[in-house]
């Protein structure tokens, strides 16, 4: 909660200080002023832009993805964007599949991509209907796995990845690898992947780690439950989501015939995916990684190291394949984005001693990457397509970065029309930052755009 002064300032729509130590602000103030007529406060969406509501929803609760948004938000956006029965729903950062699964549950055809292997794996599983399984066979295999007599595994976890060595009790890790080995011997592909997702989803619970903001934090004193009992509870919950009295997972849309195309997810890079597919989008509902230093290869390192990454070099390769929203981002080799507001931020930060000198590299790389993403989306979207992006602004060393408005500027320059900027909440800053710079609210928003039906595309200068 903000103090009375801040709340009053928000109500009056006064533009907050863009820099608190006398940095240049003119370009950002102009940007804020120009977009103010499109601002719409919907603070009742505050909880919906988080993953929290999904924790109790069948299928959506199978795999924890704290950076995601809620299924209910997708339902609302499908209505807000006036999705038609025959529309193709797309998410270029599908994460754990909330957009794709919700769209399919509402009867729409959907597809999505992500560059994080564990995210795509979880999404693919969640997109399956109960009819895709032999439920009797699945039940027997779950019971056989849970009753399997322990024996030392013949496969080992990666030995050169610190978080694996420090994050588990040695005996717990051996049991995880035992269950992994048993699961990988399962011949039925659907059953194998179902069991594997169950095991993957309990790794944090049975480790000395916690997904905490931008880190996977070590908590040495954390009590560790039984691996077998934790896996039993998870697999039973997942199985019960597939059988009566649960309703059918997917249904035909209420406003038209069932979709003609199946829903799917696959591994691909949002910066360069159109060369690999001729699929298209009528509605896009997504949330790109926030400019907040979160490194998904660290946050999901336990899950990645179960089967995808056999050594540190594999994990490092995933890290450097990600969108450049984290501090280990490599320097941008392109210079497409030269917006005055971005240059102002980079110039201000360049004049200061930063707690991490790579922050400007990350910021520059992020917007260069998002420029590529938006260009790809233009190619994938059909004329008349509607888009909703859940985004958050950022603040580094007193400098506010209007991510939402800068993305709107990039989208507009590419050819999209900016419709609205829905403010869902105002986030504060850390106590250390408040002590140094004061409290300044940072927006988390949903920006909505559309591709004109017949307007020639423009190019960014």
DSSP string of 330-391, one letter each residue: PPPS------HHHHHHHHHHHTS--SSTTHHHHHHHHHHHHHHHHHHHHHHEEEEEEEEEEE
* Nearby residues of 431 by Cβ (< 8 Å), 6 or more positions away: none
pLDDT for the residue 55: 92
Q: Are residues 284 and 378 in the same domain?
A: yes
Residue 125 in any domain: the answer is no
Q: How far from the centroid of its chain's Cα atoms is residue 6's Cα?
A: 30
pLDDT for the residue 196: 98
pLDDT for the residue 7: 53
What single string gives the DSSP state of each residue in 8-34?
HHHHTTPPPPSBSSS---HHHHHHHHH
For position 283, which CATH number holds? 3.40.50.150
pTM over 0.85: yes
CA atoms within 13 A on the CB side of 55: 8
Residue 248 in any domain: the answer is no
Angle between helices 227-240 and 135-147 (to 10 degrees): 170
pLDDT for the residue 3: 47
Q: Are residues 227 and 365 in the same domain?
A: no
pLDDT for the residue 216: 83
* C-alpha closest to that of 103 among 114, 91, 92, 115: 91
The DSSP element (H or E) to which 218 belongs, if any, is: strand 215-218
Low-confidence ranges of the chain (pLDDT < 50): 1-3, 5-6, 9, 253-255, 257, 259-260, 431, 434-435, 437, 459-461
Q: Are residues 430 and 282 in the same domain?
A: yes
* C-alpha closest to that of 417 among 385, 383, 451, 391: 451
Q: Are residues 162 and 97 in the same domain?
A: no
Q: Over the stretch 394-418, which tens digit does the pLDDT of each residue have?
A: 998 889 999 999 999 999 999 999 9
262's tokens: 């199946």
Residue 249 in any domain: the answer is no
Whether the bond into 245 is cis, omega within 30 of 0: yes
Q: Are residues 190 and 333 in the same domain?
A: no
The C-alpha atoms of residue 8 and residue 99 are separated, in whole angstroms, by 35
Q: Are residues 279 and 428 in the same domain?
A: yes
pLDDT for the residue 330: 83
The C-alpha atoms of residue 296 and residue 300 are separated, in whole angstroms, by 6
pLDDT for the residue 311: 92
The C-alpha atoms of residue 299 and residue 322 are separated, in whole angstroms, by 13
* Three-state SS at 171: helix
pLDDT for the residue 329: 84
Number of independent structural domains in the chain: 2
Q: Are residues 191 and 325 in the same domain?
A: no
pLDDT for the residue 460: 42
The C-alpha atoms of residue 253 and residue 148 are separated, in whole angstroms, by 43
Q: Are residues 233 and 112 in the same domain?
A: no
Q: Are residues 25 and 49 in the same domain?
A: yes
Residue 459 in any domain: the answer is no
pLDDT for the residue 434: 45
pLDDT for the residue 289: 93
The C-alpha atoms of residue 316 and residue 425 are separated, in whole angstroms, by 34
Residue 429 in any domain: the answer is yes
pLDDT for the residue 295: 87
Domain assignment of residue 213, given as a range: 131-240
pLDDT for the residue 293: 81
* C-alpha closest to that of 306 among 57, 63, 98: 63
The values of phi and psi at residue 445, to 5°, are: -140, 165
Domain edge (last residue) among 183, 205, 240: 240
């Amino acid at each position: 909660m903000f103090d009375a002064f801040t709340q009053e300032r928000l109500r009056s729509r006064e533009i907050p200080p863009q820099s608190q130590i006398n940095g240049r602000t003119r370009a950002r103030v102009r940007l804020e002023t120009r977009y103010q007529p499109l601002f719409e406060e919907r603070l009742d969406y505050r909880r919906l832009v988080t993953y929290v509501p999904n924790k109790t929803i069948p299928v959506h609760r199978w795999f924890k993805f704290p950076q995601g948004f809620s299924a209910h938000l997708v339902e609302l956006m499908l209505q807000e964007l006036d999705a038609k029965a025959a529309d193709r729903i797309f998410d270029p950062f599908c994460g754990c599949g909330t957009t794709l699964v919700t769209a399919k549950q509402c009867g729409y055809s959907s597809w999505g991509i992500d560059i994080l292997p564990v995210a795509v794996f979880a999404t693919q599983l969640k997109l399956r209907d109960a009819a895709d399984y032999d439920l009797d066979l699945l039940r027997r295999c779950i019971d056989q796995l849970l009753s399997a007599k322990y024996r030392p595994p013949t496969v080992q976890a990666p030995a050169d990845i610190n978080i694996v060595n420090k994050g588990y009790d040695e005996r717990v890790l051996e049991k995880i690898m035992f269950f992994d080995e048993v699961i990988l011997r399962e011949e039925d592909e659907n059953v194998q992947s179902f069991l594997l997702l169950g095991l993957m989803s309990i790794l944090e619970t049975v480790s000395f780690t916690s997904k905490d903001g931008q880190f996977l934090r070590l908590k040495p004193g954390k009590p560790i439950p039984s691996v077998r009992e934790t896996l039993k509870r998870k697999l039973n919950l997942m199985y019960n989501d597939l059988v009566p009295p649960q309703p059918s997972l997917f249904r035909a849309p209420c406003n038209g015939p069932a979709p003609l195309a199946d829903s799917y997810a696959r591994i691909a890079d949002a910066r360069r995916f159109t060369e690999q597919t001729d699929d298209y989008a009528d509605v896009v509902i997504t949330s790109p990684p926030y400019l907040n230093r979160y490194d998904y290869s660290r946050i999901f390192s336990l899950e990645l190291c179960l089967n995808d990454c056999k050594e540190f070099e594999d994990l490092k390769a995933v890290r450097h394949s990600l969108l450049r929203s984290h501090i280990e981002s490599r320097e941008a080799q392109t210079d497409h984005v030269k917006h005055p507001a971005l240059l102002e931020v980079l110039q201000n930060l360049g004049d200061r001693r930063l707690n991490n000198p790579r922050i400007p590299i990350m910021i520059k790389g992020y917007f260069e990457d998002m420029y590529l993403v938006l260009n790809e989306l233009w190619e994938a979207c059909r004329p008349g397509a509607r888009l909703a992006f859940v985004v958050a602004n950022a603040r580094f060393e007193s400098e506010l970065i209007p991510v939402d408005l800068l993305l709107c500027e990039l989208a507009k320059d590419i050819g999209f029309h900016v419709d609205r900027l829905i403010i869902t909440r105002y986030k504060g800053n850390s106590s250390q930052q408040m002590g140094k710079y004061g409290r300044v609210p940072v927006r988390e928003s949903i920006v909505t755009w559309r591709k004109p039906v017949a307007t020639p595309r423009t190019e960014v200068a």
